[in-house]
Amino acid sequence: MFDKILIANRGEIACRVMKSAQKMGIKTVAVYSEADKDALHVQMADEAVHIGPAQSNQSYLVMENILDAIKQTGAQAVHPGYGFLSENAHFFDALNEAGVEFIGPEKLAIQAMGDKIESKLLAQKAGVSTVPGYTEVIKDTDHAVEIATKIGYPVMLKASAGGGGKGMRVAFNEDECRDGFERATSEAISSFGDGRVFIEKFIEEPRHIEIQVLADKHGNAVYLQERECSIQRRHQKVIEEAPSPFLTPETRKKMGEQAVALAKAVDYRSAGTVEFIVDKDQNFYFLEMNTRLQVEHPVTELITGVDLVEWMIKIADGQELTLKQEDIPINGWAMESRVYAEDPFRNFLPSTGRLTKYRPPVESDTVRVDTGVYEGGEISMFYDPMIAKLITWGKDREECTENMKRALDEYYIRGVGHNISFLNAVMSKQRFIDGNLTTNFIAEEYPDGFDASMVPQKDPKNLVAVACFMKRMETERETMISGQMEGGRGRNINEDWVVLYNDDKFEVTVSPNETEGYDVKVDGATLHIRSEWTFGEPLFFADINGHEMCVQVDRLAVGYSLFHAGAQATVKVMSATHAALNDLMPFKAPPDLSAFLMSPMPGLLLSVAVEEGQEVKAGEELCVIEAMKMENIMRAEKDVVIKKIHASAGGSLSVDEKIIEFEADE
């Protein structure tokens, strides 16, 4: 067995690999860029080597820097994680020449499966069902339109070397095909240095279901059931689960056997994933094979009990796979939510900055957190905005989902925006509860985007009771500190208050009860609330009428900001006199910024498509901003005249920086 391995990656996946390696008694080496010098994976490693500037193409993607780190530390093997060099055949060659083991498949599989066109041809030869399409090189836009017309719209345009949703477009007509081909080609060149794009039939009402495989160097291969990855936004997965709520045992077996057949066809060795698209009738078609560990691998680990990273290391060491197909169980249900630093209320734009407060839920047999961040750490603009992967387990899908919702309530993050409200909203949809999933789920359920009104609003009385409990504790504490307990403000006194809950007003009476809690009478109901909450704690755990709940608490100058089940409320508790005076407070209107195009995210201004004095029609392109390797086209929302351009193409943008100013409406 290896004495020391190097993890050629960063973030949560680097931390994840280190945990398995160190559990096996193997020392670990971290590599880090300038931006990651204080990162969690660096702190966890036995050794760490600096490999360059923050930009990944000057650090994590530079093979020479990784090889130099190997020489410095004497690492015998390299685990590439996912992304960066994980599917780079040249990196495999470089390690092979250096006498270092690559913890992953052989070069043949990396090359063959890394090219979507070649992988599709190989899949067909291996007897794997594939989607109808055109796999030759597409010469230009006109050629793309010609091919799409023959296949029949809708079609999917994909970068041959693509992944992660980059270089991918869906076209329903000729105009969309032309624009999609140009954008897919541009993103493919920018992200992968390979502009080849292919076209295939777009399957409507599709599910994205993938099969996890493990294969060793001795010809043994098994599949570890499936993962449902249909909840996606812009082709990037958001929520994954295992098993799928859709597949029958017969379909599962057929998909698994085809996945194993493909793995054997390319002499696969290590953990890999065969992705399929599945229609409403359970017909399935090969999409691609990822020759690496997947982001969503934890859900497979939770239902099978198999440590995939551990087996990757064992297989690279030459050990024989001892798992037998008939011995791989489906034990319960597992679900993963990708917690991203992004603002779902601003079209999911990346949010960068320091994690001023960070408290993940407590891990247990039913809750797992894979993360590479910590309180005080920073979410950098240079890398993927993932904060963590939150994984829960339950005996069935319903219990697993409830465990996930509870864990999301307990995930306290401040300093950057996050998508927890959105995750809660998705899992509260009846369609999600019913397991009626497709890759179009988010687009269909939120066709006009996502805003705060779409977060399920629970009965406000519970949060009113929470605010009253905290206010009562504050008043009693203030009374005790000032020595006025004999002045009538002790625990046994009833109090009448007015509670302002966002735009609603409630009259409440708060009384102590025999359980050391309080009875809160509000809106015709009495809520019995008990809690051991103490001042300063950001999480308020309470029992309300026998139901346990967790509420996130932020103290405001007046009142509290409460966050529960994805919904946020501003709650103020005051006397009737204070409430009457509050009604007289003047309202300060926010500044009018409608005459400006502001940058919605930190990023690079790739191009500006307009000039000063130009008349622009609604829907026309204004500029293109690149953030996290994705191109975002900014379009005019109405007919405007360009007054001034404040930013130049090629420049960096910060959030809310002025880009373009419009003439004021007459």
For 353-374, give the DSSP string: EE-SEEEPPPP-SSEEEEES--
CA–CA distance, 427 with 85 (Å, rounded to integer):
34
Among candidate residues 233, 268, 227, 261, the one with its CA nearest the CA of residue 247: 227
Distance CA 529, CA 336 (A): 32
Buried b / exposed e along 269-295 (16+ C-beta atoms within 10 A): bbbbbbbbbbeeebebbbbbbbbbbbb
In angstroms, the Cα distances linking 283 to 162, 263, 372 are 24, 21, 38
Q: How far apart are CA 25 and CA 30, in angstroms?
A: 16
Which pairs from 524-533 meet CB under 8 Å and 24+ separation? 525/461, 527/461, 527/462, 527/465, 529/465, 529/466, 529/468, 529/469, 531/469, 533/469, 533/470, 533/473
How far is the C-alpha of 135 from the C-alpha of 118, rounded, in Å?
8
Q: Which residue has the tokens 């994680």?
A: 81
* Residue 182 burial (C-beta neighbours within 10 Å; 0-12, 13-18, 19+): middle
Residues sharing a CB contact under 8 Å with residue 474, sequence separation 6 or more, in sequence order: 535
Pair of tokens at residue 582: 């509050």
- Catalytic site residues? 288
Q: What gap in Å lies between CA 455 and CA 43, rounded to an integer? A: 37
Best CA proximity match to 113, nearest among 94, 137, 87? 87
Residue 427 belongs to what H/E stretch? helix 420-428
Q: How far is CA 562 from CA 241, 362, 463, 553, in A?
A: 29, 20, 7, 5
Nearest residue to 184 (alpha-carbon basis) of 151, 160, 150:
160
CB distance 272 to 105 below 8 Å: yes
